[in-house]
């Protein structure tokens, strides 16, 4: 999800009509050696559509104009990062250019096995694997890293957004509202005491792949940016139900300050509210992720873990 909103919205409408016929034409024009492989639609997100191409490839195309720069981020930066990452990522193998009346760049990527972690949660034993992945990602970014006005900002700049969503969801979160408010207030007051690093920026369970409980990849890198590592650390509460697993993920990541952990929990609370808010409109899967995240945070707060 790229853009926060002051009011509750569902999945944004597409700006471009994408179908197999268009993709075939693009492939024949630009990558004819791939044009006759089997092709089928797989998934549609807020920003992009994904088509499986043969057994080993996939085609990823922006469905909204706002996502056009994001796929360029992936094409430019993911090949430079991938070699140091400890989990597979969909590095673009071929780059597609605008054509056939389609105005955006697009990518052919390696098909990664697995289903999204909202459909199959990773085993607790994968917590250390995930923490180590975050550590491999969170390295200094160059000065010309992509700028993301929604992730690469201090958490205090998201106060109005948090309050708007909290108020809309008063009835939904009544039983845990006190804990979520405490987590948020502690997070907003926590200093940012780390240098900026590379971030995935949108590391919710739909962007983590799992096969039989094993994490097989991390996808959808369009929001990648430089910023506070707490943004990505929030995903630990989104992915792992067991407190012991979350502690293992943090231990594998390496020492972090109490302030960073508080900020991470605050980002998790914001993401949980955002997913629940939009999910109640037209995406039940998002609502499930949001409820799980907020419940885990509240439980951790009651037990003094955050």
DSSP 79-146: HHHHTT-SS----EEEEE-SBTTB-S-EEEEEPPPSEETTTSPPPGGGHHHHHHHHHHH-SPPPTTSP
Nearest in space to 259 (alpha carbons), one of 204, 306, 203? 306
> CA–CA separation, 27 vs 20, rounded Å?
10
pTM of the model: 0.95
User: Tell me, what's the pLDDT at 10?
Assistant: 77
Q: Any idea of the CA torsion for 154, 157, 162, 165, to the nearest 10 degrees?
A: -130
> Mean pLDDT, to the nearest integer, of 156-178?
97
pLDDT-based confidence at 7, cuts 50/70/90? low
Which residues are paired to 107 by β-bridges? 60, 95
Average pLDDT of the chain is 96
Q: Over 90: is that where the pLDDT of 85 sits?
A: yes
Per-residue pLDDT tens digits for 35-82 = 999 999 999 988 999 999 999 999 999 999 999 999 999 999 999 999
> CA–CA separation, 256 vs 271, rounded Å?
21
Residues of the chain with CATH 3.90.1200.10: 116-302
Q: Is domain 20-111 classified as CATH 3.30.200.20?
A: yes
Residues ≥6 apart with Cβ < 8 Å to 101: none
Residue 290 DSSP SS3: helix
> CA–CA separation, 242 vs 230, rounded Å?
20
pLDDT-based confidence at 9, cuts 50/70/90? confident
User: Tell me, what's the pLDDT at 187?
Assistant: 98
> CA–CA separation, 27 vs 157, rounded Å?
43
Beta strands in the chain (DSSP E): 39-44, 48-53, 57-62, 92-96, 106-110, 115-116, 197-199, 208-211, 214-218, 225-227
Rg, C-alpha atoms of the chain: 19
> CA–CA separation, 166 vs 233, rounded Å?
22
Residue 37 DSSP SS3: coil
Its CATH architecture, for the domain 116-302, is Alpha-Beta Complex (3.90)
Residue 306 DSSP SS3: coil
> Mean pLDDT, to the nearest integer, of 196-223?
97
Query: 118-141 b/e with 16+ CB inside 10 Å = b?
Result: bebbbbbebbbbbbbbbeebbeeb
Residues of the chain with CATH 3.30.200.20: 20-111
Q: Over 70: is that where the pLDDT of 179 sits?
A: yes
What would the two tokens of residue 57 be?
């490839």
| 201: alpha, beta or left? (left if phi > 0; alpha if psi -120 to 50) | left
User: Tell me, what's the pLDDT at 207?
Assistant: 97
User: Tell me, what's the pLDDT at 8?
Assistant: 61
Would you give the distance in Å from CA 186 to the centre of its chain? 24
């Amino acid at each position: 999800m790229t853009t926060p909103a002051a009011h509750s919205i569902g999945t944004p409408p597409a700006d471009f009509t994408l179908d197999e016929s268009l993709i075939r034409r693009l492939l024949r024009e630009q990558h004819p050696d791939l044009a006759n492989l089997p092709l089928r639609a797989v998934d549609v997100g807020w920003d992009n559509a994904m088509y499986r191409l043969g057994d080993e490839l996939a085609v990823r195309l922006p469905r909204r104009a706002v996502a056009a720069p994001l796929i360029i981020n992936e094409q430019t930066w993911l090949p430079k990062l991938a070699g140091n990452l400890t989990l597979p990522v969909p590095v673009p193998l071929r780059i597609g250019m605008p054509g056939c009346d389609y105005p955006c760049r697009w990518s052919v990527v390696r098909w990664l096995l697995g289903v999204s972690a909202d459909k199959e949660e990773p085993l607790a034993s994968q917590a250390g694997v995930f923490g180590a992945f975050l550590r491999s990602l969170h390295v200094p970014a160059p000065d010309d890293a992509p700028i993301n006005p929604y992730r690469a900002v201090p958490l205090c700049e998201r106060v109005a957004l948090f309050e708007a969503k909290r108020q809309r969801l008063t009835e939904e979160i009544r039983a845990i509202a006190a804990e979520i408010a405490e987590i948020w207030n502690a997070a907003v007051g926590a200093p940012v005491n780390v240098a900026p690093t590379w971030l995935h920026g949108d590391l919710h369970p739909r962007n983590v792949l799992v096969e039989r409980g094993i994490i097989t990849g991390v996808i959808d890198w369009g929001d990648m940016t430089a910023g506070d590592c707490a943004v990505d650390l929030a995903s630990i509460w989104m992915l792992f139900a067991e407190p012991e697993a979350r502690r293992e993920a943090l231990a594998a990541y390496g020492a972090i300050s109490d302030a960073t952990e508080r900020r991470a929990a605050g980002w998790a609370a914001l993401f949980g509210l955002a997913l629940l808010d939009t999910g109640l409109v037209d995406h039940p899967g998002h609502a499930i992720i949001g409820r799980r995240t907020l419940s885990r945070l509240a439980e951790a707060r009651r037990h003094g873990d955050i």
